[in-house]
Amino acid sequence: MLQKFMDYLCKIDHGIVGICFLTVVGMYSRCCDLHYPNSVTFDEVHYGSVTTLYSSQRFHIDKQPPLFRLLLFNLFPNYFSNVSMWENIGKDFPDQFSPQAIRLLPAILGTLLIPTAYGVVLKLGFTVEAALLAAILVTFDNALVIQSRFMVADSLQLILVLLSIFFAVIKSWFCFVLSSIFIGLAMSVHLSSLALWIVIIMLALSKAWEICTDRKVSLAHGFGKGCLYIVSSILVPIFVLLMCTTVHLKSVNLSGPHDILMSSTFQASLDGGLKSNGSIVKYGSVIRLRATGDIPPYGSCYLNSIAQIYPLTHEDGRGSSGQQVVGCSYKASSWNVLHPTNFGSQNMEVRDGDFILLIHSNTNGTLNTHDVAAPVSKYKQEVSCVNLNEMHSPKMQTWKVHVVNTNGNKAWKNLHSKVLFEHVNTGFYLVVTGNTLPEWGLGSLEVATEGLDETGDCATEWNAETIPSSKKTSSYKIIHETFNNVVEYLVVLHCDMIDAIHLCSCRR
């Protein structure tokens, strides 16, 4: 009897026994007492507060792609209907909400890392002992244990990365497609997975070369199969990332606090945001003017005016008494587009080379510039607003419209056209200098005028934004706009990540 038992033990795969034991240990260390602490911790504040924005469907941007937050909101919608619950670190969970439920998903994923790491090492051709060593390191790594016990995205990203590696080393095109899907999902959780995507593409090139140089298959068959590997490694992850981003944008289709970071065209796609009041700006239109491009430190800049005047005397002795015209990051008040001589020419299209007056809606001041130094940039001219009734010459407040991206059509298109404004009397162009005004300017950006050849890094191009009712669009246009919005969102997301990395490196 004893001999039979010993023979049975010898037949057991010790690798399977070892990995099962380690998985049980890992499950205990990651899933036990998830209710402690019964309060919101570090990154849970971030993930929780951002995920609550899905409940209001308001557009928002986070530093990373949205897959983890989408999973949280769709699995536990009740947890993210209460914004106040995620406001501060250390705030206790309400009695009706147990932290165990929302922390269970990362805990399970963290547990699955153990057998997945074991399988990856075996697939790479190492011994069972090496695979068990890898599983032991994953099981008892303190950082992996901690991040698996809280509502953070690391466990999801790591399990997707390991699954991608696992299927990538299997000699099967179908498994390679699965690998590409998993790396696409990993990039939809965190953009740092882009590094592994490059490795997957290089592996696809290696497989394609191996197939093409195999004498057992024809050149045409080998070339076609090699192309399948390369194409799937590139297009499949991109498709998965685009789909996840599309789901995110469809879930937050209302105008929100972050849509100001996007282009006017993107904002027009949001419900309650900008809509095209016809495709052409006309005399009599009421518009907002936004400088195109990324303008530090806010990223966007709207032309605004306030009733306060510039300081009568600046620190260097210069002074002015004009009504302030500034650049601000929020959606500022609007401007009326009028003809400089024929105020009754309503509904006439404004085209490249036409002349206009810009009247501030709130103060009725007319946009003007004159031979007075700007508040911060001494070698540029100040921009201010004056009372229309006090005009001595129409040219003093008249601006000439230059449509930059005409594409054969010289009309000033709402949301799409990039426009330069040339002051007729001085020949100078309206710009945002990028300089922040002193304390009296309340953090606004300086707006000035200068010669076109001297603008340098200043923002000189503007586009118009209006807010009328929406109208039906064709299916093709909806698909085209959705694709453009997804690409723009990912570009902004990627630029934000680069800025964050640069900021961290500067602090070091």
CATH of the domain at 285: 2.80.10.50
Same-domain status, 476 and 427: no
* CA–centroid distance for 300 within its chain: 14
pLDDT value at residue 482: 66
Q: Is residue 45 part of a domain?
A: no
User: Could you give the count of Cα atoms lying within 13 Å of 444 in the half-sphere of its Cβ?
Assistant: 22
Structure tokens belonging to residue 449: 């005028």
Determine the structural domain holding residue 424 and report its residue range: 276-465
Residues 454, 372, single domain; the answer is yes
For residues 246 and 320, state if they share a domain: no
Task: Report helix, strand or coil for 400.
Answer: strand
Reading the block at residue 208, the tokens are: 């394609």
Sequence-distant (6+) residues with CB within 8 A of 308 are: 323, 324
Q: Is 147 contained in some domain?
A: no
285 and 423 within one domain: yes
| Three-class secondary structure assignment of 90-138 | CCECCCCCCHHHHHHHHHHHHHHHHHHHHHHHHHCCCCHHHHHHHHHHH
What is the predicted pLDDT for the residue at 117?
95
Cis status, amide bond into 297, omega within 30 of 0: yes
pLDDT, residue 55, reads 82
| Residues of the chain scoring pLDDT < 70 | 1-13, 255-265, 267-269, 271-278, 294-299, 313-321, 332, 343-347, 388-395, 406-408, 454-457, 459, 466-485, 488, 491-508
**What pLDDT does residue 113 have?**
95
Residue 133 lies in a domain: no
Q: Are residues 431 and 341 in the same domain?
A: yes
Could you tell me if 221 and 284 lie in one domain?
A: no
Q: Are residues 321 and 234 in the same domain?
A: no
pLDDT tens sequence across 338-351: 887 776 566 688 88
Clarify whether residues 389 and 496 are in a common domain: no
CA dist 411 → 58, 398, 408 (Å) = 33, 18, 9
Residue 111 lies inside a defined structural domain of this protein: no
Entry pTM: 0.67
Phi, psi values for residue 75, rounded to 5°: -85, -35
Cβ-Cβ contacts under 8 Å for 279 (sequence gap 6 or more): 411, 413, 414, 416
Same domain, 324 and 443: yes
Is 131 among the domain residues?
Answer: no
Q: Are residues 175 and 296 in the same domain?
A: no
Same domain, yes or no: 394 and 429: yes
The number of distinct structural domains making up the chain is 3
Q: With respect to residue 453, please indicate whether it lies within any of the assigned structural domains.
A: yes
Whether residue 350 lies inside any domain: the answer is: yes
| DSSP character at residue 173 | H
Residue 14 to residue 12: CA distance in whole angstroms: 6
Whether residues 314 and 208 share a domain: the answer is: no
Q: What is the pLDDT of residue 505?
A: 43
pLDDT recorded at residue 470: 41
- CA-angle at 199, arms to 111 and 219, nearest 5°: 125
CA distances (Å), origin 349, targets 264, 337, 358, 405: 20, 11, 15, 17
